[in-house]
A and B are shown apart, each in its own frame.
Chain A
Amino acid sequence: MRSQGVIGWLLVLPAAALLALFTHYPVVATIVDSFYATSRAGRPGPFVGLENYQVMVADEVFWKSLWNNVWYSLGTIPLSITLALVMALWVNSAMRGRTWLRVAFFTPTILPMIAVANIWLFFYTPQYGLLEKLTTSLGFATHNWLGTESTALACVMVVAIWKDAGFFMIFYLAALQSIPPSLAEAAALEGAPRGYYLRRIVLPLLMPTTLFVLVNAVINSFRLVDHIVVMTRGGPNNATSLLLFHIYQVGFSFWDTGYAAALTLVLLAILAAAAIGQFVFLDRKVHYQ
């Protein structure tokens, strides 16, 4: 019995060691670092207690980035999930050319974000960009989409929705195909309208997938900032600065690693809260088969 326990521990050791090295140790190190000033020129930084957090409270760019991120999440998550569901329902139905449609919907996911951002940069270009050609042909005045504070964030949100929706669609599609066709047949025999079947049978059966997708979408909205780097670099005047982008700037442009550690903790806390909240509260409402 005892030796079995040892073997068990030995079996999890490689995974546990990797987890500790690449997940737990960095988290602990980040917490510790956030209480120290940034080391300069090889001299270790002194212990400063909560100073980094005081700096954060006074940092306008931090608050701006945080609010931007809240709007960004609220704007991208519901839309991309809804879109993914609609697309999945569509390409799940029997129709001609659905393979092509599936490929078309999934393509944005395969493309690297940097490439995508470069393409969209030209879509948004004033005057001869794709969007401008469309709006000016309809008689609207030209607009500098990425160069105006009021529209820049919405523009980068559209890119994220376009890219994420296809990815989430794949999960919905897989879930839809695992629903036994007998249910649809039974519903049809009972004379249930399609809307009723969708609302009372398909959507509840998709809830576990929705939860999974939701968790991923929340994480993505805080984690994916590649297109910001390419398209706006947080500008104009921080209108598109998201939390992770701000952390990157503080950490790797300003080399203020102490403060960056404190900011990282905020991001970690938000993500942990979101994940726990979703698993604890939503799990109860999720219907498992």
Chain B
Amino acid sequence: MTSVRNTWRTIAAGFACLAAAALAQTEISFYYPVAVGGPITKIVDQMAADFEKENPGIKVKPVYAGTYQETVVKAITAHKAGTPPATAIILSTDMYTLIDEDAVVPFDDFAKTADDKKWLASFFPAFMANSRTGGKTWGIPFQRSTIVLYWNKEIFKEAGLDPEKGPANWKEMLEYAQKLTVRDASGNVTRWGVQIPSSGFPYWLFQGLTTPNGVELMNAAGNETYFDKPAVVEALQYWVDLGRKHKVMSPGVIEWGTTPKDFFEKKIAMMWTTTGNLTNVKKNAKFDFGVAMLPAAKRRGSPTGGGNFYIFKKAPKAEQEAAVKFAKFMTTPERAAQWGMDTGYVAVRPDAWETAKMKAYVKDFPVAAIARDQLKFSVAELSTHENQRVTKALNDGLQAALTGAKSPAEAMKDAQAEAARILRAYRR
């Protein structure tokens, strides 16, 4: 009898030990979208392992959740089921959606020490435009990008242009593109001068035209859009004219995904795409290429893009705190710099560019700094309440104009009317 009781006691003690170990060990799941090519999951795994080494009480479980769109769908579904991840990388533009779903908590609640507060203030202001609203910080910039112009130096030389200089403004870009477009004897184009992709998310590329034209597409509260302002219509007219009037860009809607390939195949002389493609272009372009800021009209400018860290509301307090620690770890100057070099994303804080490693990298590969220098002129990516619905209204309008189904003015008027209808409820 005693021995039986002893056995029970031993088992009970064993369970108690296990429970204690479980308490000491906080496991956080981390949804991560794989949005660019390369061995990106390996890099993230390594960073998570480094974090665990530094913080023995915490385990990080990265979950590679597909594209950005799939990741936000999974995260919100998990939130609705009551078991969200502690943290996830989701598009900065999904901030209002996540707030409206009551899915996330602001980082300010966790930033208690002076050091934490300094951390929240350490990022490029351009990236914070999409990470803060109503005086709270909802997202921490991690993999962020902007649009830049890539050009093929060889083709520039062939066309008699200065291969070291990209177009500085809209007028130059059009002139260059006219010189760079090549037609064969029967008038068929064999190479286009310039390419601005317009499939999937044309609104983002469009912001690369509206921002230089001195106009923003939405207000900071995310409940009003300005799609039908004359400057917006003018920007769209310029885009449409490249293809339809001047015939220096392929008419119709141009696929985003194949644009880098078009560039490698020398079917286009200049392309607009994300800085996130920099490492890809560096590896695959078999010719000298240049990178420039987007051409200016009334001013310079480009939208920012990419993903932020978010903390989920329904995760247990201990996990949320561990997740904040993890976000802080991932965005130290050294790690931000390393991440930028590995992927081509813009290192998210100014002091990351002051690290010795980054300085050496930029010296060797100066175009890496173009995106950073453009940040001064950058604005927030289009983001409103009911974000996907509003951007779809704009996307449809842009594609209608680019394919010639509607005039730019008409397309933007319709898009604005649709957006105003959707946002009605958020303006009361």
Q: How far apart are the CA atoms of A256 and B257 in the complex, in Å?
A: 28
* Residue among A147, A149, A252 with max Cβ neighbours from chain B (10 Å): A147
Task: Determine if A253 and B188 form an interchain contact, defined as CB atoms under 8 angstroms apart.
Answer: no
Nearest chain A CB to B270's CB is how many angstroms away?
15
Option from B69, B265, B405 in Cβ contact (under 8 Å) with A149 = B405
Task: Determine if B199 and A147 form an interchain contact, defined as CB atoms under 8 angstroms apart.
Answer: yes
Interface residues in B234-272 (C-beta closer than 8 Å to A): 250-255, 257-258, 261-262, 265, 267
Is A216 close to B, CB under 8 A?
A: no
Assuming the A-B contacts A41-B100, A122-B258, A254-B388, are A233 and B200 also in contact, with contact meaning beta carbons closer than 8 angstroms in the complex?
yes
Assuming the A-B contacts A149-B403, A252-B73, A255-B76, are A237 and B258 also in contact, with contact meaning beta carbons closer than 8 angstroms in the complex?
no
Option from B101, B199, B389 in Cβ contact (under 8 Å) with A233 = B199
Task: Determine if B258 and A125 form an interchain contact, defined as CB atoms under 8 angstroms apart.
Answer: yes
- Which of A94-102, A135-143, A160-168 contacts the other chain? A135-143
Interface residues in B191-211 (C-beta closer than 8 Å to A): 198-200
CB-CB contacts of B41-83 with A at 8 A, as 1s and 0s?
0000000000000000000000000000100010010000000
Task: Determine if B253 and A128 form an interchain contact, defined as CB atoms under 8 angstroms apart.
Answer: no
Nearest chain B CB to A61's CB is how many angstroms away?
8
Is B386 close to A, CB under 8 A?
A: yes
Interface residues in A109-162 (C-beta closer than 8 Å to B): 121-122, 125-128, 136, 139, 141-142, 144, 146-149
Q: How far apart are the CA atoms of A61 and B200 in the complex, in Å?
A: 16
CB neighbours (8 Å) of B402 from chain A are 236
Q: How far apart are the CA atoms of A125 and B197 in the complex, in Å?
A: 13
Option from B100, B102, B200, B255 in Cβ contact (under 8 Å) with A125 = B255
Q: How far apart are the CA atoms of A254 and B76 in the complex, in Å?
A: 12
Nearest chain B CB to A220's CB is how many angstroms away?
23
Nearest chain B CB to A159's CB is how many angstroms away?
15
Option from B250, B389, B392 in Cβ contact (under 8 Å) with A126 = B250
Q: How far apart are the CA atoms of A150 and B200 in the complex, in Å?
A: 18
Is B97 close to A, CB under 8 A?
A: yes
Task: Determine if A148 and B188 form an interchain contact, defined as CB atoms under 8 angstroms apart.
Answer: no
Is B189 close to A, CB under 8 A?
A: yes
Q: How far apart are the CA atoms of A128 and B189 in the complex, in Å?
A: 12
Is A199 close to B, CB under 8 A?
A: no
Nearest chain A CB to B188's CB is how many angstroms away?
5
Task: Determine if A142 and B188 form an interchain contact, defined as CB atoms under 8 angstroms apart.
Answer: yes
- Of all chain A residues, the one with the shortest Cβ separation from B395 is A235
Task: Determine if B252 and A148 form an interchain contact, defined as CB atoms under 8 angstroms apart.
Answer: yes
Is B400 close to A, CB under 8 A?
A: yes
CB neighbours (8 Å) of A256 from chain B are 389
CB neighbours (8 Å) of B27 from chain A are none
Task: Determine if B253 and A235 form an interchain contact, defined as CB atoms under 8 angstroms apart.
Answer: yes
Assuming the A-B contacts A41-B102, A236-B403, are A253 and B388 also in contact, with contact meaning beta carbons closer than 8 angstroms in the complex?
yes
Assuming the A-B contacts A42-B102, A254-B388, A255-B97, are A147 and B188 also in contact, with contact meaning beta carbons closer than 8 angstroms in the complex?
no
Q: How far apart are the CA atoms of A140 and B100 in the complex, in Å?
A: 52
**Chain B interface main SS type:** loop
CB-CB contacts of A221-258 with B at 8 A, as 1s and 0s?
00000000000110111100000000001001111100
- Of all chain B residues, the one with the shortest Cβ separation from A252 is B73
Q: How far apart are the CA atoms of A136 and B399 in the complex, in Å?
A: 26
Option from A147, A149, A252, A255 in Cβ contact (under 8 Å) with B254 = A147
Assuming the A-B contacts A127-B267, A139-B186, A254-B389, are A236 and B262 also in contact, with contact meaning beta carbons closer than 8 angstroms in the complex?
no
Is A194 close to B, CB under 8 A?
A: no
CB neighbours (8 Å) of B189 from chain A are 127, 142
Option from A41, A144, A233 in Cβ contact (under 8 Å) with B252 = A144
Assuming the A-B contacts A40-B101, A42-B102, A255-B101, are A147 and B403 also in contact, with contact meaning beta carbons closer than 8 angstroms in the complex?
yes
Q: How far apart are the CA atoms of A51 and B123 in the complex, in Å?
A: 45
Task: Determine if A125 and B262 form an interchain contact, defined as CB atoms under 8 angstroms apart.
Answer: yes
Task: Determine if B101 and A41 form an interchain contact, defined as CB atoms under 8 angstroms apart.
Answer: yes
Q: How far apart are the CA atoms of A252 and B76 in the complex, in Å?
A: 9
Interface residues in B391-405 (C-beta closer than 8 Å to A): 392, 395-396, 399-400, 402-403, 405
Task: Determine if B101 and A147 form an interchain contact, defined as CB atoms under 8 angstroms apart.
Answer: no
Q: How far apart are the CA atoms of A232 and B250 in the complex, in Å?
A: 17
Task: Determine if A128 and B265 form an interchain contact, defined as CB atoms under 8 angstroms apart.
Answer: yes
Task: Determine if B396 and A121 form an interchain contact, defined as CB atoms under 8 angstroms apart.
Answer: no
- Of all chain B residues, the one with the shortest Cβ separation from A136 is B188
CB neighbours (8 Å) of A139 from chain B are 186
Is B190 close to A, CB under 8 A?
A: yes
New A-B contacts (14) at CB < 8 Å, excluding given A125-B258, A235-B399, A254-B386: A40-B101, A121-B255, A122-B261, A125-B255, A125-B262, A126-B250, A128-B265, A141-B188, A144-B250, A144-B254, A146-B253, A147-B251, A253-B392, A255-B97
B-side residues, CB < 8 A to A, are: 69, 73, 76, 97, 100-102, 186-190, 198-200, 250-255, 257-258, 261-262, 265, 267, 386, 388-389, 392, 395-396, 399-400, 402-403, 405
Nearest 5 Cβ contacts at the A-B interface: A147-B252, A147-B253, A41-B102, A144-B252, A236-B253
Cβ contacts A to B, 13 pairs, < 8 Å:
A122-B258, A127-B250, A128-B262, A146-B199, A147-B198, A147-B251, A147-B403, A233-B199, A236-B402, A237-B405, A238-B396, A253-B392, A254-B388
